[in-house]
Amino acid sequence: MSADKSVAENMLWGGRFKGGQDPLMVKYNESLPYDRIFWREDIAGSIAFARANKNAGILTEQEFRDIQLGFDQISQEWLTETFVVKPTDEDIHTANERRLGEIIGKETGGKLHTGRSRNEQVATDMRLWLREELRKIEGYLVDLMKCSIMRAERETEYLMPGYTHLQKAQPVKWSHWILSHTTAWSYELERLREVIKRVNRSPLGCGALAGNPFGINRNDMAKELGFDGLIMNSMNAVADRDFVLETMQWSVSLMVKISRWAEDLIVYSTLEYGFVNLADAYSTGSSLMPQKKNADSLELLRGKSGRVIGQMVGLATTLKGLPTTYNKDLQESVEPMLDNIKTVGDSLQIATGVLATLTLNGEKMHAALAPEMLATEIADYLVRKGVPFREGHHISGRVVALAEELGVPMDQLTNEQIKQVDSRLEDDVRRCFDYHRAVELKDAVGGTSKRAVLEQVRAMKELLLGITA
């Protein structure tokens, strides 16, 4: 008998096959090199399933105890990295079941899989693993938001240009900029918590596609494994990978926001702007130019967003044409899921490190403010005198044009020159050229005044930390 034929016959599914497999096909088919990460989840699911079979009368009390003790030993082998993989171990499920038979005997070990399919097993393992990883990611996102809120609260004195179209628009507080991104992240925190709820549903007890014939209690298994509820249709339970796709869709939404935040800081850290300085821990230099300090951490965050977008599109493309129910194509959901979770988790921790350690250059921020950014203040000044805003906007524009024509900053125009534009622009119009005043006037909810910013801080704390104002 050839080695390849022996391998095929010793697979869990090998009884129906007479010929051997192409060695490349064996490797092409196996998933143990990456799904071994699910060993804890696979063992927990197997013990829960064995307990359900015991309660249904399929296993005796002694057989269940033997299975449980066998899995305790297997757990130790995985923990101590002494588990020996064999050629017939296609995946983590077959590896654990094969080893269980070696420890407690094939007769008892062979009863474990009664009524169970790898189709439900892999879905269970993936959901259990993903649930815990998403909870970790939730913690990383909370940490980033805490850091952001802390800086926003402590650094309200710094003013900087606010931009639209990358053009200087109106002065804002640095804290207001921070909170603009924190607010965006808060939406992702809400969405993530919803995603976790949908991930945390149990497919265990659905068999290959048609359900379980031995009357096991699916609710008991779900409760033991910490699931919030059941997937109610057995065909859907084994075919569904929406929980992976939705996780990736959420990752895309988050990472696009992280990328935009990173892009702002990349720009603000350049010599041309100089608003912020990244810590050395999150920067690199040039192999040729000694003066360079590159924002590689932020550039990588920006680049990783493309990675997660690709993973989401790839999985959606794999899923879109699959017939009901399980197809081996679904194996292609595992590797991108693993990488997606690592990418997002690492990215959030890097982003937190960058934000926690960067320093501000308040002088550069203030120097970047330009009097022309206060043009709207003149229009608002006229509105307070009863002038329709559209007319005030036109008059303010003429003041800007006059300053450009004379080649001076707008705040260096004389009172007489300003009055030549419109007689309603009296001497007190010069108050409009005060950046701090302009910022403090934006005092409505959501504005950039100190009071409005601190109100946003309190709102974020209430959302995130449960702190009442």
Residues 117-162 pLDDT 10s: 999 999 999 999 999 999 999 999 999 999 999 999 999 999 999 9
pLDDT over 70 (residue 3): no
Q: For residues 356 and 75, give the distance between their C-alpha atoms in angstroms, rounded to a whole number.
A: 39
Q: For residues 48 and 37, give the distance between their C-alpha atoms in angstroms, rounded to a whole number.
A: 19
Q: For residues 295 and 300, give the distance between their C-alpha atoms in angstroms, rounded to a whole number.
A: 9
Q: For residues 286 and 202, give the distance between their C-alpha atoms in angstroms, rounded to a whole number.
A: 51
Catalytic pick among 175, 180, 283, 286:
286
Mean pLDDT of the region 325-349: 97
Amino acid 344: pLDDT: 98
Q: Distance of alpha carbon 19 from its chain centroid, rounded?
A: 46
Burial 410-441 (b: 16+ CB within 10 A, else e): beebeeeebeebbeebeeebeebbebeebbbe
How far does the chain reach from its first CA to its final CA, in angstroms? 76
Query: Quick one: tokens of 58?
Result: 């399929």
Q: Identify the residue with better confidence: 259 or 292.
A: 259
Instruction: Please answer whether residues 54 and 117 qualify as being in contact, where contact means their C-beta atoms are separated by less than 8 angstroms.
Output: no
Catalytic pick among 31, 46, 165, 305:
165
Mean pLDDT of the region 44-71: 98
Query: Quick one: tokens of 222?
Result: 């779900």
pLDDT over 70 (residue 278): yes
Instruction: Please answer whether residues 172 and 94 qualify as being in contact, where contact means their C-beta atoms are separated by less than 8 angstroms.
Output: no
Amino acid 465: pLDDT: 72
CATH 1.10.275.10 domain range(s) in the chain: 31-109
Amino acid 2: pLDDT: 43
Pick from 4-18, 55-69, 151-165: least confident: 4-18
Q: For residues 99 and 83, give the distance between their C-alpha atoms in angstroms, rounded to a whole number.
A: 9
Radius of gyration of the chain (CA): 31
CATH 1.20.200.10 domain range(s) in the chain: 118-156+169-367
Supply the CATH classification number for the domain 371-465: 1.10.40.30
Mean pLDDT of the region 301-305: 97
pLDDT over 90 (residue 27): no
Mean pLDDT of the region 396-416: 95
pLDDT over 90 (residue 22): no
Q: For residues 433 and 370, give the distance between their C-alpha atoms in angstroms, rounded to a whole number.
A: 10
What percentage of the chain has pLDDT greater than the value 70?
93
Going by pLDDT thresholds of 50, 70 and 90, the confidence category of residue 13 is very low
- The residue type of 405 is E
Mean pLDDT of the region 31-49: 96
Instruction: Please answer whether residues 420 and 399 qualify as being in contact, where contact means their C-beta atoms are separated by less than 8 angstroms.
Output: no
Q: Identify the residue with better confidence: 285 or 87.
A: 87
pLDDT over 70 (residue 381): yes
Q: For residues 37 and 41, give the distance between their C-alpha atoms in angstroms, rounded to a whole number.
A: 9
Mean pLDDT of the region 456-461: 96
Mean pLDDT of the region 37-51: 98
Query: Quick one: tokens of 278?
Result: 């990244």
Would you call 436 a catalytic residue per the annotation? no
CATH 1.10.40.30 domain range(s) in the chain: 371-465
pLDDT over 70 (residue 286): no
Which residues lie below 8 Å from residue 55, measured CB to CB, with a gap of 6+? 216, 217, 220
**Could you tell me which of 91, 101, 97 has the C-alpha nearest to residue 36?**
91
Amino acid 23: pLDDT: 84
Amino acid 438: pLDDT: 98
Query: Quick one: tokens of 437?
Result: 């005043």
Q: Which CATH superfamily is domain 31-109 in?
A: Fumarase/aspartase (N-terminal domain) (1.10.275.10)
Would you call 165 a catalytic residue per the annotation? yes
Amino acid 466: pLDDT: 60
Which residues lie below 8 Å from residue 99, measured CB to CB, with a gap of 6+? 74, 77, 83
Average pLDDT, rounded, for the chain: 93
Burial 4-39 (b: 16+ CB within 10 A, else e): beebbbebeeeeeeeebbeeeebeeebbbebbbebb
**118-156+169-367 has CATH 1.20.200.10 classification:** yes
pLDDT over 50 (residue 234): yes
Per DSSP, what are the bridge partners of residue 266?
none
**Could you tell me which of 92, 42, 101 has the C-alpha nearest to residue 70?**
101
Burial 124-148 (b: 16+ CB within 10 A, else e): bbbbbbbbbbbeebbebbbbbbbbb
